[in-house]
Chains A and B, each alone.
Chain A
Amino acid sequence: MAPKQIDCFEINWKFWKFLGIWSENKPHRYYKYYSKIFITFFVILYDVLYTINFYFVPRQLDLIIGEMLFYLTELSVLSKVFTFIIMRHKLKIIFEILESDAFQTDTEEELKILHRAKVFIKRYWKIVALVSITANLTHISSPLLKNLIFKVELVLPVCSYSFLSESFLKTFEYPLYFYQIVGIHFHMLYNLNIDTYFLGLMILIIAQLDILNVKFRNLKSGKDHTQLNESIMGLNKNLDHYNEIERFCSLVQNIFSFTLFVQFSMASCIICVCLFSFTLSVPVEYYIFLATYMFIMIIQIMVPCWFGSRIMDKSILLSSAIYNCDWTSNSKDFKINMRLFVERANKPLSITGGKMFSLSLATFTSIMNSAYSFFTLLRYIQTRE
């Protein structure tokens, strides 16, 4: 029995179950209580405290920007968690569609394409996990180590909780510290698993488009009536396949549109804040953390944009693929169907976030441009003060 397509998401499932956002078809009795408590404590409370903190921070640009570093990521994590809670049913439909007949493979070559896609998804998860966990651990463990070894005062790594009194902070410094590091770790895990899942979906769409490309190229014509009939049936089956892929794409867009919109809106602000933090005078290990953090943030928007561009390119290539088959000797119905399909294929399949940001390299370039503009603006304000 061929391995299922969605096996590559197994590790994502495990993490989602732990993080309280994914319940199987027959969940444990108390799972929903567990997930509600987990999310309230580690996500909602965390963000509420963070937001309250902003009111109590003194109104200086340096300090505000220092606090903002994690806040924007928290917002995008919040949007992702809400997406998963609200769109639970549609997510289950995605998995059902991936396993349906339309997306199954027939030939060796198609199996190879799919296999390569799955391997890539798993490998990408490992790379991103490695980088994020390293960045996270270096950032959160260095204050603790400095406190334990050098007896330096413990600085809260994420948020300075300035609304609490000094004595409160002193007595409860370790519990607050652990709450913050555990919370930021879980947020990182949310980010990691949901982003890699979304990317995995895009890679599977690309694999399906590749398979369809191969199928179109191999459409044969025939000499007698039955062969010609067969070839039209083959073409129609491929056209159905294309429709299925298109429907899948719009379902994915439906589910992730809001979170993509939030993520992309935050993206240029996040990069600008990172760039600005580089200019502040901070210790060396903070620079290393900043560099890896900015790298991850850039990758977080570049990779979806890159693969979104690839989806658009591959769907346009389908019209050349069908031109490359042996259509000249085929029947008239075949040619009519082919023409209509090419008209459709000339408009690319794209995924759009919030009806504004379509996933493409052009969006990525404009985000980087606006990040740099915000950065120069902030610098100007800072030098004027």
Chain B
Amino acid sequence: MMTKVKTQGLVTDLMPCIRLLQAAGHFLFNYHADTSGMNMLLRKIYSSAHAVLIVVHYICMGINMAQYKDEVNELTANTITVLFFAHSIIKLAFFAFNSKSFYRTLAVWNQSNSHPLFTESDARYHQISLSKMRRLLYFICGMTVFSVISWVTLTFFGESVRMIASKETNETLTEPAPRLPLKAWYPFKTMSGGGYVFAFIYQIYFLLFSMALANLLDVIFCSWLIFACEQLQHLKAIMKPLMELSAALDTYRPNTAELFRVSSTDKTEKVPDAVDMDIRGIYSTQQDFGMTLRGAGGKLQNFNAENNPNGLTAKQEMLARSAIKYWVERHKHVVRLVASIGDTYGTALLFHMLVSTITLTLLAYQATKINGINVYAFSTIGYLVYTLGQVFHFCIFGNRLIEESSSVMEAAYSCQWYDGSEEAKTFVQIVCQQCQKAMTISGAKFFNVSLDLFASVLGAVVTYFMVLIQLK
């Protein structure tokens, strides 16, 4: 009987994705309820079995590529397939070697601060990020399954042949090849019969699991980015009430007779202990918070100018200060999260971009040979769309992070900071200065993940395609 594992923070949010990763065979051994030796051993065996099967099939594909390297078209097609699945092998190995930093990033959000004024906004944006993450997961899973199905379906169209370069006459001949989704070398005969069925099932397994391996890791990365973006949205959303809080408590608003009347409902306020910043016990009613409409000029100003010339009581000043502190600490937490994400996944992005660049160059060459609506056209376009889609997937979320983090400055400026207290204005100034530089995810410091990267990749592919068309 499995007891539910206690999780917190990001792990709870990403649990479906984590479970899928474990099912696909990544070396992810944390976050299980029972960690007895036997079960851990079983899980390790499960992951290793998947890894072995996938690597063995990849090597078979590599052997096939080496076998038929004489004919250019065959070589190009095989190279593209090999590079296509190189992503899965790289990501599998990358996760295995870097699992510690993945766990560290997943644990970054385990303790987050809270403030009674802003819990509602926090919960709302958390819910938004959760729903976005779920939708992304479903979409990517759906696309993966769709790709596998369409790949297998396409296998049954067209002629199942292989190109051979004849050495004597130097022209290309065709030779019948087994009708399988992937061209690979097997030690047994696969043209028909039992060998064929076994190879077919093995290849379907390979297609599904290797694509899942690569895509799910990208989903985790993008989910982290979604979470960071929604936290930044939350911070932007509470900037305005924060300023209003500080303004309502501080600004001298000459509002007629109200000014000089002492409110009869004023209770004696319990002055909080200056050291103890725990304000939960002190504030209980809406009146205490002073959150009345701005138009009325806020709560009545108390002109007991004992400690503070602006007329704030000690309690109200501490409230404003604690709200600012909450904002700053939350922002620092988000910065830490983004830095951790960049450290964890940056190198994987670099490898992905390197492999994708070579793949796309070869695909541009293949695309020049399309001569009609046939299997060749569909498969080349399918490869192109899939590869560009993978790059687009993380570029768009990286770009969103850049936009969100640099728009914090605009949000800070667009609230009514000029009505705020001195402290609030200083806070706005420091925040604006800090947020001028956007938070970016970089691929091991070589490039920044943004839509610019995607545009340059797309531009390069189109350029190669045009040049190669001209050369023909």
Contact = CB atoms under 8 A, between A and B. Distances in A.
Contacts of A329: 321, 325
Nearest to B429: A339
Given A309-B445, A320-B335, A328 B434 contact: no
Contacts of B430: 323, 327, 335, 338-339, 342
A223 interface: yes
B321 A319 contact: no
Contacts of A346: 436-437
A311 to B, nearest CB: 13
B435 to A, nearest CB: 10
A223 B427 contact: no
Given A223-B274, A223-B275, A335-B426, A328 B433 contact: no
B422 A323 contact: no
B332 interface: yes
Contacts of B433: 339, 342-343
A323 B426 contact: no
B137 interface: no
Interface in A309-339: 309, 313, 316, 319-320, 323-324, 327-329, 332, 335-336, 338-339
Interface in B320-352: 321, 324-325, 328-329, 332, 335
Contacts of B427: 328
A327 B430 CA distance: 10
Nearest to B324: A328
A332 B429 CA distance: 12
Given A319-B434, A335-B430, A342-B433, A328 B335 contact: no
Where chain A touches its partner, the secondary structure class is helix
Interface residues of B, number: 19
Interface in B409-456: 422, 426-427, 429-430, 433-434, 436-437, 445
B325 A328 contact: yes
B153 to A, nearest CB: 45
A43 B168 CA distance: 62
A161 to B, nearest CB: 46
Contact of A323 (B325, B434, B445): B434
Contacts of A336: 426
A315 to B, nearest CB: 13
Contact of B332 (A309, A323, A343, A361): A323
Nearest to B436: A346
Nearest to B422: A332
For A319, A323, A336, A361, the residue with the greatest tally of chain B CB atoms inside 10 Å of its CB is A323
Given A329-B325, A343-B433, 8 more contacts: A313-B445, A323-B335, A324-B332, A328-B321, A332-B422, A338-B430, A342-B434, A361-B445
Interface of A: 223, 309, 313, 316, 319-320, 323-324, 327-329, 332, 335-336, 338-339, 342-343, 346, 361
29 contacts: A223-B275, A309-B445, A316-B437, A320-B335, A320-B434, A323-B332, A323-B335, A323-B430, A323-B434, A324-B335, A327-B328, A327-B430, A328-B321, A328-B324, A328-B325, A328-B328, A328-B427, A329-B321, A329-B325, A332-B422, A335-B430, A336-B426, A338-B430, A339-B429, A342-B430, A342-B433, A342-B434, A343-B433, A346-B437
